[in-house]
Amino acid sequence: MSNQDSTILWTSEEIANAVKGQCGADFNITGVQIDSRAIEPGDLFIAIKAERDGHDFAKSALNHGAGGVLISDNEVIGSSQNYVLCDDTMLALESLGAAARRRALITKRIAITGSVGKTTVKELTSAALSASGKTHKSVKSYNNHWGVPLTLSRMPINTRYGVFEIGMNHTGEIALLSPQVKPHIAAITTVAPVHIEHFGTIEAIADAKAEIFLGIENGGYALIPNENPMSKRLKQRASDIDNLNIVTFGMKQNADAKITRLIDNGDYRIIHADIMGKNIEWRVSEPGDHWIHNGLCAITLVHLAGGDLEAAASVLSNFGALEGRGAVKTITTKDGVEFSLVDEAYNANPTSVAAALRTLANRHGRRKIAVLGDMLELGDKENEYHAELIDAVLKSNVDLVFLAGSRMKYLWDLLPANKRGNFAYNSKELLPRVLESVQSGDCIMVKGSNGSHMNVIVAGLANLKNDSLKN
């Protein structure tokens, strides 16, 4: 049975060949899942053994419309023959991803990592490349040991560009993932003290990020942030690899891809850039210099991948912030109070919080209010990192600061009385204190590490559109 229908992602025979398994029957697959709760009709369910054994949910996945299952024990699914039997389902997922990579012969693959901005750059790059050809990308932040091979396994055979996000919080993780993607181009957005708890030094973080170069195809490109303090170290790591081309991007004129002019028109900025000798311009409507940096990285990746720069610039000019990463909503309550909510609740570290505070200062609003939760995985100096945010808070000239978490208490103790909104040891306790402070015309930015659950406050503020404020 061969895959002739463009809507078919895999046939059972192709899956069995890829994973060196055995088919129970002939069937076709239109998608791949490892979470039985996300099954859509026609999906392949791969029963991964992790904290919970996916085999416990294989029969349920079939009952909910899965086209077939990839399992190491066919007794768990009863009488169904829609299975491929293998020895190790995690290894099989990786093998299926490798098969997808090999069969999409015209694909240019791009891998992106970095301490800050990798998801945004991934979204910018994939959107910009979509104007040049069929583009496949990591969904959400599927960037770990299962997310990368899962993204690969979902890549259609006629993909022109593949854009993959690769993350890590320990040494050696990217070294295992980059060779799975075998990117033609790999980019590091930036290096900052994120997950420093597991590394000890910023140099160790840079070395871990540089592992992405290990998987680059012969003659490929390493894209490095020119002005980052670790730039020289990253270049050295890249230069240790034979036949690897090093390209830099940044604001200074010695970068290979650089900003040549910036025009601020108030509501938006026009960016003029020289991308390795090609002049291009695009518009940035979002505040914050990180949007310029991330856009420059993305459009350089488009150029290196052979995409249409003019079409890419047009896409970037109409790109907005992502949910959890700067998306802005206007909330109007039943009693007519209107305010802006800036959702930065997906993640946080000292670099990104300082950037978010700078951006908040440039947003429209009668009062600028920052609601911050703990930054996690910062190691022995975590309390110091939180206290040092006082400089960014004072420079941003925000009107009020609300803080959640035991680590943020170190910042709270340093805040001037006129900046203090309120403090609580968790986001749930802080929520009502934030809600009762809201006034019409406010601009409220919420940010914290995912584990500090600042999404609780985002949801509470967003739900005010259905309620009246009880001031």
At residue 7, the pLDDT reads 86
Average pLDDT score over the chain: 92
Residue 470's pLDDT band, with cuts at 50, 70 and 90, is: low
Lowest mean pLDDT segment, chosen from 19-23, 75-79, 145-149, 174-178: 75-79
What's the CATH number where 432 sits? Answer: 3.90.190.20
Residue 123, domain member (yes or no): yes
How far is the C-alpha of 88 from the C-alpha of 96, rounded, in Å? 12
Place of tokens 């301490």: 115
Q: Does the pLDDT value for residue 469 go beyond 80?
A: no
Predicted local distance difference test score (pLDDT) of residue 186:
98
Residue 117 near residue 190, CB atoms below 8 Å = yes
Which tens digits make up the pLDDT trace of 86-107? 999 999 999 999 999 999 978 8
Q: Residue 83 is part of a domain; what is its CATH number?
A: 3.40.1390.10
Is the pLDDT assigned to residue 267 strictly greater than 80? no
For the chain, give the longest Cα–Cα distance: 72
Same-domain check for residues 310 and 331: no
Residue 467 has a pLDDT of: 67
Whether 309 has a pLDDT exceeding 80, the answer reads yes
Give the domain range for residue 35.
10-92
Domain boundary among 69, 92, 115: 92
pLDDT tens sequence across 30-45: 999 999 999 999 999 9
Asked if 68 and 196 sit in the same domain, the reply is no
Do 405 and 382 belong together in one domain? yes
Region 310-314: mean pLDDT is: 94
The predicted structure's pLDDT at residue 288 = 82
Dihedral (CA of 349, 352, 355, 356) sign: negative
* Within a domain: 27: yes
Higher pLDDT, 351 or 32: 32
Per-residue pLDDT for 211 more than 90? yes
Q: What angle do CA 435, 339, 320 make, to 5 degrees?
A: 120
- Does 294 map to a domain? yes
Both 287 and 190 in a single domain? yes
Query: What's the pLDDT score for residue 118?
Result: 93
Buried b (16+ CB within 10 A) or exposed e, 334-373: eeebebbbbbbbbbbbbbbbbbbbbbbbeeebebbbbbbb
Task: List C-alpha distances in Å: 19 to 55, 87, 430, 442.
Answer: 17, 9, 50, 55
108 and 83 in a single domain? The answer is no
Q: What are phi and psi of 456, to 5 degrees?
A: -60, -40
- Domain contains 321: no
Identify the band that residue 170 occupies on the pLDDT scale cut at 50, 70 and 90.
confident
- 54 domain-assigned: yes
Helices (H), 85-210: 89-103, 118-129, 147-153, 173-181, 202-209
The CA-CA-CA angle for residues 415, 417, 420, to 5°, reads 65
> Do 285 and 403 sit in the same domain of this protein?
no
Output phi, psi for 436, to 5 deg: -75, -10
285: pLDDT strictly greater than 90: no
Q: Is residue 312 part of a domain?
A: yes
- List, as one string, the DSSP characters of 277-336: TEEEEEEE-S-SHHHHHHHHHHHHHHHHTT--HHHHHHHHTT--PBTTBBEEEEEE-TT-
Pick from 288, 287, 289, 259: which is nearest to 273 by CA?
259
Residue showing tokens 């929520």: 431
- Is residue 238's pLDDT more than 60? yes
Residue 1: what pLDDT? 45
Residues 82 and 119 in one domain: no
Looking at residue 320, its pLDDT comes to 76
Residue 468: what pLDDT? 60
If asked whether residues 146 and 267 sit together in one domain, one would say: yes
Q: Considering its fold, how many domains does the chain have in total? A: 3
Tokens 């800036």, located at residue = 342
Alpha helix (H) residue ranges in 111-181: 118-129, 147-153, 173-181
In a domain, 2, yes or no: no
Across the range 445-461, mean pLDDT stands at 93
pTM of the model: 0.77
Residue that finishes a domain, picked among 58, 92, 126: 92
CATH of the domain at 257: 3.40.1190.10
Query: What's the confidence (pLDDT) of residue 4?
Result: 43
Residues 421, 434 contacting (CB under 8 angstroms): yes
Contacts of 396 (CB under 8 A, 6+ apart): 357, 358, 360, 361, 368, 370
Last residue of a domain, one of 37, 61, 92: 92
- Do 242 and 358 belong together in one domain? no
Element (H, E) at 237: helix 231-239
Which of 459, 410, 464 lies closest to 439, judged by CA? 464
181 lies in the same domain as 301: yes
- Is 439 a member of any domain? yes
- Given a cut of 90, whether residue 377 has pLDDT beyond it is no
Q: Report the b/e string of 152-170 with b at 16+ CB within 10 A.
A: bbbbbbebbbbbbbbbbee
In angstroms, the CA 307 to CA 278 distance is 13
- At residue 3, does pLDDT exceed 70? no
Q: Do 340 and 290 have their domain in common?
A: no
**Residue 64 and residue 200 in one domain:** no
